[in-house]
């Protein structure tokens, strides 16, 4: 887990509703091109501050707040976003 740079997936594995906030800054993208393109089109970009809100039930998608929105991402999708924790 100590690989650097870390991906958004490493940010938090807390379940939703538990205490504690984890914030990070997006530093880049890696992995499957179609996923990266889509993430960028949805407005995720270098330098953006992201906060992990936790995981949905059944070990479902992770919720990330960025600005005035929340995006639900699967593990594989979160993994494509590289971050630096704050």
Residues of this chain that interact with another protein (CB under 8 A) are 15-17, 29, 32, 34-43, 45-48, 53, 55-61, 63, 65, 67-74, 76-77
Q: Closer CB to another protein, residue 10 or residue 77?
A: 77
CB count in 10 Å sphere of residue 37:
11
Q: Do the Cβ atoms of 19 and 59 come closer than 8 Å?
A: no
Q: Which is nearer to another protein, 39 or 83 (CB)?
A: 39
| Residue 45 beta carbon to another protein: minimum distance, rounded to whole angstroms | 4
Q: Determine the distance from the C-alpha atom of residue 8 to the mean position of all C-alpha atoms in its chain, rounded to a whole number.
A: 4
């Amino acid at each position: 887990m100590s690989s650097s740079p870390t991906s958004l997936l490493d940010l938090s594995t807390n379940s939703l509703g538990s205490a504690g906030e984890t914030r990070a800054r997006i530093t880049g993208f890696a992995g499957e091109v179609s996923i990266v393109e889509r993430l960028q089109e949805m407005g995720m970009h270098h330098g953006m501050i992201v906060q992990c809100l936790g995981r949905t039930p059944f070990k479902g998608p992770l919720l990330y707040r960025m600005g005035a929105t929340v995006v639900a991402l699967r593990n594989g999708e979160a993994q494509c976003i590289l971050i630096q924790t704050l």
